[in-house]
Amino acid sequence: MRSKPIPLTTVPGTTLGGGCSSTSSCGSASVVTDAEIAEKVANHPCYSQEAHQYYARMHVAVAPGCNIQCNYCNRKFDCANESRPGVTSRKLTPDEALAKVKLVASEIKQMSVLGIAGPGDPLANPRNTFRTLELVARDCPDIRLCLSTNGLKLLDHIDRIEALGIDHVTITINMIDPEVGERIYPWVVFQGKRYRGRDASKVLSERQLAGLQALTERKILCKVNSVMIPGVNDDHLVEVSRTVKGMGAFLHNVMPLVSAPEHGTHYGLTGQRGPTPQELKALQDRCEGDDGADMNMMRHCRQCRADAVGLLGEDRSDEFGPETYLGRADDGTLEYDLAGRREVHADIERWREEVRATRGSLQIEASGVRAPDEVVLVAVATKGGGVVNQHFGHADEFWIYEAGPNWAKLAQTRSVARYCAGPSECDDESKLDKTIRLLSDCRAVLCSKVGPEPSRALSAAGIEPVEVYDLIDQAVAEAGRRLVGSHGPSAHEDHGTPVAVTGQRGAR
Ligand code: CLF
Ligand code: SF4
């Protein structure tokens, strides 16, 4: 491993995670045994935690309308700096979308999935949605097709979904109890009739669950997204998880409510808060635990825009403005380089094999029977290649791992900006202070470099700064070995001096 350069040109911005030694890992890094499912998730960045370190997705915003209203959504809001579902800068026609997909596929060859996720509901805009997917299936045969829907119209389109080979469908299910639902959905329009209050949620829930059932019966892989809304549906989501698992959903993605007054949403305007990272993790753990729903949980969602492009941790949509693809669809300059793409994907798979082999030889795991009794949380700053390789001060996002001896399990990703609780709390707070608050439950932060001032501040907050350039899994497991069982704010006395373990890779 050590001698091979990390192929950043092939796999830009990637990081290793999990510790799963299976050929594919699902969103929760547990072992996928069914060969058919393993094949479907192998290069889908949302359905496989491991794959998301290597493969990119893109969304095309071809579906503006919606047939329900969620209290956390405002599709009128459009801000290039905003990043949450329902937000986009430009709505596309199917032909424009095809041109954009072809361009992105040639520029970002590890882009493996095209998703339609808004800005409204794809199935409330069936003509544009299916025409786009047909065109992409025709011209880009190696791209997986993915849909994310509120589920209201799933049953009406199930045959077409199956016929088009859309083998990944996400349904956003925030409740299965209309009493909970009436606090989330003010109205639903179904078969020409507008339903309100509890009736709206009853119609929606029945249709969502029937749609889920129909999809799983046809062996279409289903993920359920749920928005965690503290005080509204947080307790209820364990029951949702149990229910959808019983109906054959493959993965459950509990996401935090993103809510601020400037978004103009009902929740934003009425002061409904989102969960803290700790509350979110606790709920995800409950859904995953066998005393809860025992469900596969997705831990690496980034709550993408409806026009997101790139690896999940990055958004390159700005590089693909309309001027880059409009008018190029028919002039022959947008060739689909299938052979080139296959070569890149083969490179990625070779590299993944090597990483798995290294992980295996170090006996590092992220799931299974050898889970340690005690783990600590450590944060990782990374910008690619499966390595701890980012300067602390340059990181806008941290990967939070459960660490223990031979244990490195990705538990969450946390973005400094996303968890900022809004101007009232954050205006006067420095990025360093925000980051320390974000990582307050972590025992250490692993990064390639950290300056003296942040190092002192981290140490003073009980978070050990560790300078390391190594495989993430190895560095995390090593930190776990050292920190589990050691208590107190920090394992090292000299506040301000980061622990340096750079260059230790392969020493054991
Ligand atoms: Fe897009 Fe969704 Fe398909 Fe992924 S996103 S339609 S399943 S290709 Fe992924 Fe983005 Fe989270 Fe969605 S990180 S918001 S889960
Ligand atoms: Fe917005 Fe999606 Fe809800 Fe429709 S289903 S209101 S687009 S969040």
pLDDT tens digit sequence for 449-483: 999 999 999 999 999 999 999 889 899 999 999 99
pLDDT confidence tier of residue 84, bands split at 50, 70 and 90: low
Token pair 């990064």 in the structure block, residue: 447
* Of 91, 121, 184, 201, best ligand 2 pocket probe by most atoms within 8 Å of the beta carbon: 121
**Predicted pLDDT of residue 255:** 94
pLDDT digits (tens, 9 = 90+) for 23-70: 334 454 444 568 888 888 999 999 998 888 889 999 999 998 999 999
**Predicted pLDDT of residue 261:** 87
Q: ∠ CA 168-171-174 to the nearest 5 degrees?
A: 150
**Predicted pLDDT of residue 329:** 60
Question: Which has the minimum average pLDDT: 286-295, 313-322, 336-345, 490-499?
Answer: 490-499
* Of 148, 215, 220, best ligand 1 pocket probe by most atoms within 8 Å of the beta carbon: 148
- Sort strands 144-149 and 168-172 into parallel, antiparallel or unpaired: parallel
- Encoding tokens for residue 421? 């609780």
Cα 146 to ligand 1 centroid, rounded to whole Å:
8
Cα 45 to ligand 2 centroid, rounded to whole Å:
22
Q: What is the C-alpha separation between 335 and 329, in angstroms, rounded? A: 9
Q: What is the C-alpha separation between 181 and 201, in angstroms, rounded? A: 5
Backbone φ, ψ for residue 224 (5° rounding): -110, 125
**Predicted pLDDT of residue 415:** 87
**Predicted pLDDT of residue 14:** 34
**Predicted pLDDT of residue 183:** 97
Share of the chain above pLDDT 70, in %: 82
Question: Which has the minimum average pLDDT: 124-133, 239-248, 269-278, 355-364?
Answer: 355-364
CA-closest residue to ligand 1 atom 14: 303
CA-closest residue to ligand 2 atom 8: 73
- Encoding tokens for residue 213? 């059932």
Which residue ranges have their beta carbon within 6 Å of ligand 1?
46, 57, 59, 113, 115, 117, 146, 148, 168, 170, 253, 301-304, 312
| CA neighbor of 309 nearest in space, from 78, 50, 117 | 117
Which positions ≥6 away from 424 have C-beta within 8 Å? Answer: none
**Predicted pLDDT of residue 89:** 62
Instruction: Tell me the mean pLDDT in the region 388-393.
Output: 92
Instruction: Tell me the mean pLDDT in the region 270-280.
Output: 93
Q: What is the pTM of this model?
A: 0.85
Cα 50 to ligand 2 centroid, rounded to whole Å:
29
CA-closest residue to ligand 1 atom 4: 46
Average pLDDT over the chain, rounded to whole? Answer: 84
pLDDT confidence tier of residue 122, bands split at 50, 70 and 90: very high
Instruction: Tell me the mean pLDDT in the region 232-256.
Output: 96
Q: What is the C-alpha separation between 460 and 441, in angstroms, rounded? A: 14
Which residue ranges have their beta carbon within 6 Å of ligand 2?
66, 68-70, 73, 75, 85-86, 118, 120-121, 150
Atom of ligand 2 nearest to the CA of 150: 5
At 104, the amino acid letter reads V
Which positions ≥6 away from 238 have C-beta within 8 Å? Answer: 283, 286, 287, 292, 293
**Predicted pLDDT of residue 330:** 61
| CA neighbor of 206 nearest in space, from 176, 237, 244 | 176
